[in-house]
Structure 1
Amino acid sequence: MAQAQGHYYVPHESHWPIVGSVGLAVSMVGASLYLNGSSVSLWILLTGIAIILFMMAGWFRDVILENESGKFGPAEGRSFRQGMAWFIFSEVMFFGAFFGALFYARVLSVPWLGGDDPSTSRYLWDSVVLAWPTAGPGFGDLEWEPMGAWPLPTINTLLLLTSGVTLTIAHHAIKEGRRAKTILFMWATVLLGLTFMGVQAYEYYEAYAHLNLRMDTGIYGSTFFMLTGFHGFHVLVGAITLLVITLRLMKGHFSAENHFGFEAAAWYWHFVDVVWLGLFLFVYIL
């Protein structure tokens, strides 16, 4: 169904925002009860997560059906691009805050408490010498090791860089109308993303089992797991998104002229790649 010239599609009333709000509320109740040691908290939390997933599947289905029925045109396409650009900007600010916490600890707090400025450190921690990476005062007697850049983080860097290449090949292929090639390289991208997650899970196992590096290992442990963990969550979201896009391609969705859903997923994935390069440099190497 072709869209009328100058028409802008306004979605009908939807119950999905209410369903999502209920899911979020139930999840927060479950999380709060978990922090207070309740025996039923896990089931409540899982119920809330299940409601959220149900909402996402239903809402995304409706949007896909709207797109495939021809309700979206150039005006909606511009809105989608603006919305995705602002979303990625918000993600830049999100990670910017986390990188800011890391830089503040490394450049200001640790040198300040560690004796670089005797006029202040002697009033706070007498005779304490700190240098990054550090767990902070009070953790000096605990044996732990920082996570090195080799081999697991380096392998993950290669995996993500390669996934960026395969995704770019798929993008060029869909613009050329070569659907089979697009699907092939999309599956390769999804596989690389899932492999990254597997390697990161093994990295966390090594951190806990052999390095004694935990989330409560002072400032280094908290910043390490905060940055890498949230990035890993974004990889999970990106991999699921790419998987959905791949399945839609296999069902005949998208064309050489109309494939913004594909492009939005690609923007997000390339953003995740760039963030990882910053993590690899500032968390693992420097």
Structure 2
Amino acid sequence: MSKTYDKYYVPEQSPWPIVGAVALFMIAFGAGNFVNEVTRNKEGYGGYLLLAGVAVLLFMLVGWFRNVIDESMHGLYSKQMDRSFRQGMSWFIFSEVMFFAAFFGALFYARMIAMPWLDGASNNAMTAQLLWPDFSAHWPMTKTPGGTETTAMPWQGLPLYNTLILLTSSVTLHFAHVGLEQGKRTQLKLMLTLTVLLGAAFLACQAYEYVHAYRDLGLKLDSGIYGNTFFLLTGFHGLHVTLGAIFLLVILLRILLKNHFTAHNHFAFQAAAWYWHFVDVVWLCLFVFVYVL
């Protein structure tokens, strides 16, 4: 008795992984030099290298997405490939969880261990006096050892509005998913468009928040442990929101222009939804531990 096996598709060799690696290197190297140039008030190539890296990254995303979409629409993928995509996206999101866990862990260490230690807690009074004699353990830590003092970003106002915006975007994305599964294309298009617009509104508000922090509060990346924590956590989260918004925009364009996805075949939509809900959860944790507590 013969047994029928499902087809197994092996993609051809692709240049996009190495292009993406080069883009990320340019972004990291350019961003590091750009921050150093800004803090020292000198001109350099960091900003240009950062922009070039972003351009190369976008080029890579467009090319790689196009190849994967073409392969999928030509029916080359099997159930095994579908499982591989799901496992890959799951592991990717898990790696992002660990990425943010490292920064939240650094925040926990600074607040719960380093600050009490510097304040002379336990048996370290002598060491604390030598390192920072007039130190007082309180959060947010807006005073640096050099005597510079800044103002903490309050949770009311822009951070609260951004939280509401991002939570609303998760709701609209859920209803878009429901519309896709129930064959309600108008609901799908409307709710997904609102989700993308809400993501853009979040990023615009965060950019304005950074301008307000720098110009009005004197809060900078070198403003002690609080400034480091604030800009690293919110900045990396903003980067992830940007990537998620691009992902959703690609999905939206496929729906509007090509009428892609059906109720039973829409993993790309699901992957984008998973990622977007993940960045929403990260923001809730960030809002509580960075802004409120």
Q: TM-score, normalised by structure 1?
A: 0.90
Alpha-carbon displacement from aligned partner over 1:178-232 (angstroms, at most 9, x marks no partner): 1121011000000111111111111111111111111111000000111111111
CA contact (8 A) 1:114 1:131 kept: no
Tell me if 1:20 matches 2:20.
yes
Tell me if 1:197 matches 2:203.
yes
Task: Report SS of the residue matched to 1:134.
Answer: coil
CA 1:205 to 1:49, structure 2 compared with 1: closer, same or farther past 3 Å? closer
Q: How does 1:236-251 map to 2 (within 5 A)?
A: 236-250=242-256, 251=258
1:65 is matched with 70
The correspondence for 1:110, drawn from 115, 118, 122, is 115
Alpha-carbon displacement from aligned partner over 1:42-78 (angstroms, at most 9, x marks no partner): 4444434333322221111010100111111221111
Moved more, 18-27 or 212-221: 18-27
Distance 1:124 1:15 in 2: 52
Task: Report SS of the residue matched to 2:189.
Answer: helix
Distance 1:278 1:137 in 2: 26
The correspondence for 2:100, drawn from 95, 98, 120, is 95
CA 1:157 to 1:80, structure 2 compared with 1: closer, same or farther past 3 Å? same
- The code of the aligned residue for 2:214 comes to Y
Task: Report SS of the residue matched to 2:148.
Answer: coil
Q: How does 1:26-37 map to 2 (within 5 A)?
A: none
Matched length: 282
CA 1:22 to 1:200, structure 2 compared with 1: closer, same or farther past 3 Å? closer
The correspondence for 2:83, drawn from 78, 84, 90, is 78
- The code of the aligned residue for 2:6 comes to G
Q: Pairwise CA RMSD of aligned residues?
A: 2.2
Distance 2:178 2:251 in 1: 15
> Per-residue deviation at 1:27?
5.2
Q: Between the two proteins, what is the percent identity of the paired residues?
A: 54
1:214 is matched with 220
CA 1:113 to 1:94, structure 2 compared with 1: closer, same or farther past 3 Å? same
2:240 is matched with 234
- The code of the aligned residue for 2:86 comes to R
Task: Report SS of the residue matched to 1:174.
Answer: helix
CA 1:55 to 1:101, structure 2 compared with 1: closer, same or farther past 3 Å? same
Task: Report SS of the residue matched to 2:171.
Answer: helix
- The code of the aligned residue for 1:239 comes to A
CA contact (8 A) 1:147 1:284 kept: yes
Tell me if 1:119 matches 2:124.
yes
CA 1:28 to 1:208, structure 2 compared with 1: closer, same or farther past 3 Å? closer
Distance 1:143 1:27 in 2: 31
CA 1:19 to 1:123, structure 2 compared with 1: closer, same or farther past 3 Å? closer
- The code of the aligned residue for 2:137 comes to L
> Per-residue deviation at 1:128?
2.6
Tell me if 1:274 matches 2:281.
yes
Q: TM-score, normalised by structure 2?
A: 0.88
- The code of the aligned residue for 1:6 comes to D
Alpha-carbon displacement from aligned partner over 1:150-203 (angstroms, at most 9, x marks no partner): 011111111111111000001111011111210110000001111111111111
- The code of the aligned residue for 2:117 comes to W
CA contact (8 A) 1:157 1:280 kept: yes
- The code of the aligned residue for 1:9 comes to Y
Distance 2:53 2:61 in 1: 12
The correspondence for 1:188, drawn from 188, 191, 194, is 194
Distance 2:30 2:240 in 1: 23
1:155 is matched with 161
> Per-residue deviation at 1:131?
1.4
- The code of the aligned residue for 1:160 comes to L
Moved more, 67-76 or 32-41: 32-41
Distance 2:66 2:184 in 1: 25
Distance 1:29 1:223 in 2: 20
The correspondence for 1:169, drawn from 159, 166, 175, is 175
